[in-house]
């Protein structure tokens, strides 16, 4: 089995939900089916709404679900979930909120964020980056321009 690819994207300003929408759209363009992990129902609703409007030239087929199993025959490209949803068709996860590494390892691609606009969130981002390294992964860091 191929090792999970972990990508850290720099976010210089809020909201993280907008960055998560762009990351999900990019993964869908690459042929992946994506779970967008939200901290709670409030963030899941915000992500659901933003996926309709974040880019006027883009449409991302998506649905919002409660944590738990998702119908594997779902036609959507993106599932927004408040919690660690199980969707066998998904190949990637975008972390609009932190999630367990064990759950993330079930995906071929994990997108996390280096939150630059808040010192406390930046420290938490750095801790997650180090934790991935400690688990034997080699996270790819990309700045705002997509450069490594």
Whether residue 63 lies inside any domain: the answer is yes
Whether residue 40 lies inside any domain: the answer is yes
Task: Please state whether beta strands 92-95 and 34-38 pair in parallel, antiparallel, or not at all (unpaired).
Answer: parallel
Whether residue 147 lies inside any domain: the answer is no
Share of the chain above pLDDT 90, in %: 70
Whether residue 87 lies inside any domain: the answer is yes
Would you call 10 helix, strand, or coil by DSSP? strand
Question: Residue 63: is it exposed, middle or buried by C-beta count within 10 angstroms (0-12/13-18/19+)?
Answer: middle
Interval 36-84: pLDDT, tens: 999 999 999 999 999 988 888 877 888 888 655 666 666 778 999 998 8
Whether residue 47 lies inside any domain: the answer is yes
Interval 26-43: pLDDT, tens: 999 999 999 999 999 999
Q: How many structural domains compose the chain? A: 1
Whether residue 18 lies inside any domain: the answer is yes
Instruction: Give the pLDDT of residue 1.
Output: 47
Whether residue 148 lies inside any domain: the answer is no
Are the beta carbons of 76 and 135 closer than 8 angstroms? no
Instruction: Give the pLDDT of residue 67.
Output: 53
Residue 28 structural domain:
5-142
Residue 98, domain CATH: 3.40.50.10110
Are the beta carbons of 80 and 94 closer than 8 angstroms? no
Tokens representing residue 105 in the block:
């390892």
Whether residue 88 lies inside any domain: the answer is yes
């Amino acid at each position: 089995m191929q090792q999970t690819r972990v990508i850290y994207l720099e976010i210089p300003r809020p909201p993280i939900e907008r960055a998560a929408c762009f990351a999900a759209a990019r993964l869908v363009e690459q042929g992946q089916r994506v779970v967008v992990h939200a901290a709670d129902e409030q963030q899941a609703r915000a992500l659901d709404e933003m996926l309709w409007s974040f880019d006027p030239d883009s449409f991302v087929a998506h649905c919002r679900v409660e944590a738990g199993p998702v119908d594997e025959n779902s036609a959507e490209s993106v599932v927004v979930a408040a919690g660690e949803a199980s969707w066998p068709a998904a190949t990637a996860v975008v972390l609009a909120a932190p999630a367990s590494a064990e759950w993330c390892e079930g995906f071929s691609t994990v997108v996390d964020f280096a939150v630059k606009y808040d010192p406390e969130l930046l420290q938490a981002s750095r801790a997650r980056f180090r934790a991935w390294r400690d688990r034997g992964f080699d996270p790819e860091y990309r700045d705002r321009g997509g450069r490594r």
